[in-house]
Amino acid sequence: MQSGTGSRDLWRQYLASLSDPADAEGRFYEAFRIGDSEQSADAGAALIRNGTKTATSALLWQYQADDQSPPREGSLSIVENGRGEQVCIVETTQVEIRRFADVDAGFARDYGEWDGTLETWRRKCWAYYSACCRELDREPSQDMLLVCERFRVVYP
């Protein structure tokens, strides 16, 4: 994933604030942006920074296609806005692999977007993941596996 230069500055500031920076350095996962446009990345970063969005999801197939392991509990990631500027650092608190059909109302609420209902989450995410599936030459289904991640802001 692309990363702006500000992300490195934020990471250095975060490490300097810790009593054991080596532990955090070993838990770095990635710098990331939410969504598929500059506008959605800006909105997603703001929702994460203000504590509204504490969960996200991605197709397990996408991780496999990118030859990337999903985050693990304790992973640290830098959240960027749509211009690649650092916004905050989050720590992964939980990771579950769930079928699309098994995502529950609590996860949809913590996803922090739209109206927070499961119905809207399913409708919006179905459209998004269907498009992702087409790019991966996969068929979307209620059984497709999602990496469902919960996180908390740790800096600043």
Model confidence over 73-132: pLDDT tens digits? 999 999 999 999 999 999 999 999 999 999 999 999 999 999 999 999 999 999 999 999
pLDDT classification of 36: cutoffs 50, 70, 90: confident
Residue 64's domain spans which residues? 5-155
How much is the mean pLDDT over the chain? Answer: 95
Please enumerate, as own/partner, the contacts of 46-49 that have beta carbons within 8 Å and a separation of 24 or more.
46/81, 46/87, 47/112, 47/113, 48/79, 48/87, 48/88, 48/90, 48/112, 48/151, 48/153, 49/79, 49/87, 49/88, 49/153
- Prediction pTM value: 0.91
Tens-place pLDDT, residues 101-115: 999 999 999 999 999
* pLDDT at residue number 1: 35
pLDDT at 6: 54
When divided into structural domains, the chain yields a total of 1
pLDDT score, position 7:
56
Q: Tell me, what CATH number does 132's domain have?
A: 3.10.400.10
